[in-house]
Every structure is written in C-alpha cells, then in structure tokens.
Amino acid sequence: MASRYQGPIIDAHHHLWDIALGRHPWLTSDDSAIKALGEIAYLRQNYLVENLIADIGPQQVVGSVYVEAAWDRARPPIEEVQWLENLKRPARIASRCVAWAPLRSAEAAASLDGLAEHSGVVGIREVVRWHPDPAKRWTDAGILAHPAWRRGFEHLRARGFLLELLMNPYQANDVAQLADDYPDQIIVINHCGTPIDRDVEGLMRWKRGLALMGERENIVIKLSNFGAYGKDRSLEALRDTVMNCIEAFGTDRAIFGSDFPVGRRNMSYQESCERFKDIIETFSAREQRALFHDNATRYYRFDAA
C-alpha cells in the first residue's frame, strides 16, 4: 500500500499580477464578466513571485505554470509574457507560461508568432464560459465552432501550443467535438471543468461532461482550485470533486494546480496541497507522483532544454 505523498510538486496553475501596472481591469472594475466569481476584494492586491513563494512555504514545489491573468485585452498579449520574464523567478517557478492570444482576430497569427519566440510559452488559454444564467455567463456561446476562432486555432496548432480552456459543463459537447476534429491536439480543461451548478441536474450535467471529455485521449484535466465548488469544504466533499475527475480521465491525464491567489477564497495553499494528498493517499506511489508532478512535467515540457 502506498504511503502519503512526500515527493516533488509542480503547481500547474497559478497567476501573478502587479496592480500598479493598471493592466488587469477586471480587478478594479465592477463592470466585468468575471464578477461572476463573486466578491473579489481579497484579490485587489499585488500577487508576485515572493507572495507565491511565501504561500508555498514548506511544500516541495519544484516548478510552476503561470496562467494568463486577463491582462488588458486591448493591449498586445506579448506584454504579459515580457512582464513575466522580467520578474526574478527562482528555480523553475513560473518557468512555463500559458498565455492568451486573440484567436478570433485577424491578428491571431502575428500574436502567436510573437509568443512562439518565448520558449517558456507552451500553451494558449481561451475562455468559453457560456451559461444560460446571465449572472454566471462570461462569454457568448459557440466560440469553439466559430469559423474565425477555428482559423486562429489552426495557427495555434501550427506553432505546437497546448490549448487550455476555462469552461462550464455546458461546453462539454463542444470540447469533445473539437477533440474529435483534432485528435492530435492536446486540450487542457481548467478547474475540474467548473462544476458551479450544485443542484442535482447541474451535478449530473458536470459528470456527464467529464465522462464525455474523458473518453478523448487528447483531453487533460487540471484539478486546480478543487475546493471552489459548493459550501461544503469537508474532505469528503473535496474528494467527490477530485475523484469524479480522476475517474473520468485517469491518473495519467489529471494534474494538480492551486489556482492561487484565486484559490485563497476557499483554502490556504497548504490546505490545498495537504487535502489533495489526503484524497489520493490510497493511490500507488507512481500514480500520486503522476498527479502531483510527472503529468505536468510531460504536458508542460519541463524537461525540454
């Protein structure tokens, strides 16, 4: 029987920002789709490398993936990457980046060319969070099938980037179709597929979506901010969220991530790591290491020169 995990960790999902730059309007404006997150006053302060390291504390985090933080969409996406690379980042902290690019724009190819010049950029994130309830809706519907988006996506594929998706369960069919259309393209789902609807129907929709997407070998799921859903923060409730994802995708296509500092709403960094260790304690040593380290190493190319 495997023992509790004590090995290396790669945090596959976190953000950083400097409020003084004025590049994150969603943090300071009340007129943003991201208001669907709820009260975000706790996020309206700098979160830089030193803050992340302080949160990591004694956890054996040996590398991390910076995920785009909704940098002002009116500005060139390369700015965010350049800002990141000018930060002092010890070891492999934030050494990999999932950026943003305007895939539906005529500028998609040029933006992606610029991002491809930075070896740390391994993926592009798109937000496709449509929901029938306007209060939970971040985007319009049907983005992944839009002809202009598909043209931008072809440019993404040509440059070898991962595609990351911040989605709701309502997009599961669209994501599965995209995976079927491009079976060689790795697609990474953020935040457990975002099971925000906690009624019986909503949870069934989420579980059906997980099963559908999990059948596609080119779809991977990040177990980032797994404590964000529902009022129950008991270990059993957290285990239910994580295990539904792992049962659908397996231990070789599921990846740990903190989603800090956003994840702080629900638990500390230490709690996030320790509860995840509790949840997977009965797994084999190989499976535990895959979830915490090896899968992220493979998908985010941490072993690349």
pTM above 0.85, yes or no: yes
Q: Tell me which amino acid residue 266 is.
A: N
For residues 67 and 113, the answer to whether their CB atoms sit within 8 Å is no
- Say what the pLDDT of residue 183 is: 98
Residue-wise pLDDT tens digits, 244-259: 999 999 999 999 999 9
In 3D space, the residue among 179, 36, 16, 277 whose CA is nearest the CA of residue 24 turns out to be 16
The chain-wide mean pLDDT, for the chain, equals 95
- How is the chain split into domains, by residue range? 9-299
For residues 23 and 79, the answer to whether their CB atoms sit within 8 Å is yes
9-299 adopts what CATH topology?
A: TIM Barrel (3.20.20)
For the chain, list residues with pLDDT below 70: 1, 31-37, 305
- Say what the pLDDT of residue 2 is: 73
Residue-wise pLDDT tens digits, 184-222: 999 999 999 999 999 999 999 999 999 999 999 999 999
How far is Cα 21 from Cα 215, in angstroms, rounded to an integer? Answer: 43
How far is Cα 290 from Cα 286, in angstroms, rounded to an integer? Answer: 6
Q: Tell me which amino acid residue 259 is.
A: D
